[in-house]
Amino acid sequence: MEKKMRILLANETYSPWLNGCATFTQRLAQNLAKKGHIVGVIAPAVKFDDHYEIDDCGVTIFRLRSLPTPKMIHPNFRVITKPDINPAVKKIVGDFNPDIIHIQNHFSVGKACVKAAKKAGIPIVGTNHFMPENLTQFVPGFIGDTMMKVMWKDFLKVYNKLDYVTAPSKAAVQMLYNVGYKKEAAVISNGIEFDKFKKRPVSEKLLKKYNLKKDVATFISVGRIEKDKNLDLVLEAFAKFLKKEKGQLILVGNGKFEREFKRLARLLKIKNEVVFTGKISDEELWEIYSLADVYIGAGTAELQGIAVMEGMASGLPVLAVNAVALPELVEHGVNGYLFELEVKDLTEKMLKIVEDREKLKEMAAHSLKIISRHDKNVTIKQFEELYEKVIAEKRAKAPVQV
């Protein structure tokens, strides 16, 4: 039997909030627990109080009181507001007594975990999900550029103290070295749960609820409705696509700029062909993936692209912007096409990908083949092996007790 570990994860964002980092952390915690490990998570509370809860998979979640950030900074983020966060995290670490700690960012919880781990001699690793653009997109001009430099400097102060660092793609690892990370780092995919994304029947109830059609080219994009997702470009390209083909565009998710993008759809006179679903259940999402023909990933701040991976696991060809880590998922002309951030280029790729239905099926099959390398079981095994390696190395370096 494999050795069972006590693993403490920490993140400044976690369910019920929907974003890639929160989703990754929850899936990792729950899948490790399913393997028999004792798993805890330090995360922000939904309200202004400290408490703990145990989820359906047996993961203990230590919630620290938090407040929402101002909407001008970030619409879906909470800040843990404990002036005494170091002793609070130290107590959690002492009570939980982990074999290893795994942080997901360098903010207040990450810093407190590093301090507690070093004091207690506990090995600590981190995964990089950080791209300043996800935050600075809400801040104007030179202020955002200055913030970006400061945040990377702050990031390095924390991550250069860790025993090991991972990132979900080659591009994400290279980004670490580009900004001055000094230690070893490895690629471990965010992973994907294939069984959830199998094709399934699309109910009449769903079609009626969102006014969806079955007989037109259907594009889908899932995620935060924010500027870094470049949905203005997607909407403009889709408007031009509709001049030559029938189609519908489904945008799943919510965010600060939802009203702005709905206004753009009206101005482009395509509001009847564009569906904004808002936040939906997993079951509805899986059905909508089954209805779609093509996934569009236009975000330029993707360190891997969990939603793109979900689309691929659903058997969808992908149109992806040629930026950061998305070219690692989309092989141009094989399981989709890469496009530049130009309306004309995306329009041409949208028309091209749906013009040949047999080619579309071939691309769908290639998407499934490519994404199979990212099976969640491979990801969990890699993290287990990493934890065991780091724990063993830490123990080997520990002074011998006389």
Examine the domain organization and report whether 174 and 220 are in the same domain. no
Contacting residues for 97 by C-beta, under 8 A, at least 6 apart: 6
Neighbours of 276 (CB within 10 A): 19
- Determine the Cα–Cα distance for residues 300 and 208; give it in Å rounded to an integer: 33
Question: Can you give the pTM of this predicted structure?
Answer: 0.86
Tokens of 108: 């207040």
Residue at 1 is within a domain: no
Examine the domain organization and report whether 23 and 132 are in the same domain. yes
pLDDT value at position 336?
Answer: 98
* One-letter amino acid of 313: A
**The domain containing residue 358 runs over which residues?**
194-373
Examine the domain organization and report whether 42 and 58 are in the same domain. yes
Examine the domain organization and report whether 89 and 217 are in the same domain. no
Examine the domain organization and report whether 245 and 382 are in the same domain. no
Lowest mean pLDDT of 62-71, 183-192, 249-258, name the range.
Answer: 62-71
Q: pLDDT band for position 47 (50/70/90)?
A: confident
Residue at 402 is within a domain: no
164-184 pLDDT, tens digit per residue, is: 999 999 999 999 999 999 888
**What's the total number of domains in the chain?**
2
278-313 pLDDT, tens digit per residue, is: 999 999 999 999 999 999 999 988 889 999 999 999
CA distances 77 to 61, 147, 231, 320, Å, are 18, 17, 21, 26
Backbone dihedral angles phi then psi of residue 192, each to the nearest 5 degrees: -145, 140
Residue at 388 is within a domain: yes
16 cis-preceded (ω within 30 degrees of 0)? yes
Residue at 334 is within a domain: yes
Residue at 158 is within a domain: yes
CA distances 243 to 90, 268, 270, Å, are 61, 12, 10
Q: pLDDT band for position 118 (50/70/90)?
A: very high
Q: At what angle do helices 357-371 and 306-313 cross, to 10 degrees?
A: 120
CATH number at residue 232: 3.40.50.2000
Nearest CA to 126 among 159, 154, 90? 159
pLDDT value at position 301?
Answer: 84
The H or E element spanning position 101 is: strand 100-103
Residue at 345 is within a domain: yes
Q: pLDDT band for position 361 (50/70/90)?
A: very high
Examine the domain organization and report whether 160 and 215 are in the same domain. no
Residue at 218 is within a domain: yes
